[in-house]
Amino acid sequence: MTDALSPPAFAMPRLLAGQKALVTGANSGIGAAVALALAQAGADVAINYVAGDDAAQAVVDRITATGVRAKAYKADVSDEAQVTAMFAQVVADFGTVDILVANAGLQRDAAFASMTLAQWNTVLGINLTGQFLCARAAVQEFQRRGIVPAISRAAGKIICMSSVHEVIPWGGHVNYAASKGGVKLMMESMAQELAPQHIRINSIAPGAIRTPINTAAWETPEAYDKLMTLVPYGRIGEPEDIGNAAVWLASDMADYIVGTTLFVDGGMTLYPGFSTNG
């Protein structure tokens, strides 16, 4: 579907020059757009992915063409040993990590009564445990390196990719909503614990963004129109909407933003069903 209301192109301010970023799940959808936006803002970017070598290389090539460094790292974020090895390699290649965007995630939908333990464990393992493992490795690197004033006022920044479903219950997707609800309090608790060390941790909570994870919700005109009843702003979100938010949140322009969830959702969390008296 073509969307005439897509955001206009503009020159990205180079707010992240000299910084090193790691984006998980960066060979598709939101992660790819975040990686590209961070690069356009001047960061070198490590592209994590778990499957799809060609797609990962395509993101690397697109980023390299902007004049910064990029490299792909294949690792399952739910596997402790693979996450540890990935961070060690990224630090060896880039020198350090200043920004982690813990974005990798998936859905395994099922009616609650027939949801299998495997469906539950896969979603919690990647969406929640995966963010824990990557955030822990990033914090260890931030603590090792400390603040480098010429680079950033913070010792490091983490952005957890949450969802409007950290607050909106979602029948048929109990595992996914539980994972994002978990991300909310994990992020807030990490932020509270680590703020005294000038490590800034926040979340972005996307609404409906046009990516492969939710194709059924936007690919036909009927589905798109139904989706729009949930979005007061009247258009689907584009991955670039999340990339733009991530640049700002990771930059020193957001230096006093600690433990906050930034909803990027066109108003989806504003109870649109009540817009005409409910």
Binding residues for ligand NAD, rule: CB under 6 A, are 24-25, 27-31, 48-51, 76-78, 103-106, 126, 161, 163, 206, 208-209, 211-214
Residue among 147 and 213 whose Cβ is closer to ligand NAD = 213
Residue among 28 and 152 whose Cβ is closer to ligand NAD = 28
Residue among 128 and 191 whose Cβ is closer to ligand NAD = 128
Is 176 designated active site?
yes
Closest contact distance (angstroms) between CB of 244 and ligand NAD is 15
Are the beta carbons of 259 and 202 closer than 8 angstroms? Answer: yes
Residue among 82 and 140 whose Cβ is closer to ligand NAD = 82
Q: Which one is catalytic: 49, 73, 176, 256?
A: 176
Closest contact distance (angstroms) between CB of 27 and ligand NAD is 5
Closest contact distance (angstroms) between CB of 142 and ligand NAD is 21
Closest contact distance (angstroms) between CB of 71 and ligand NAD is 15
Closest contact distance (angstroms) between CB of 277 and ligand NAD is 28
Query: Concatenated DSSP letters for the chain?
Result: ---TTPPPP-PPP-TTTT-EEEETTTTSHHHHHHHHHHHHTT-EEEEEESS-HHHHHHHHHHHHTTTS-EEEEE--TT-HHHHHHHHHHHHHHHS--SEEEE---------GGG--HHHHHHHHIIIIIHHHHHHHHHHHHHHHH---TTT-SSSEEEEEE--GGGTS--TT-HHHHHHHHHHHHHHHHHHHHHGGGTEEEEEEEE-SB-SGGGGGGTSSHHHHHHHHTT-TTSS-B-HHHHHHHHHHHHSGGGTT--S-EEEESTTTTS-GGGTT--
Active site residues per annotation: 176
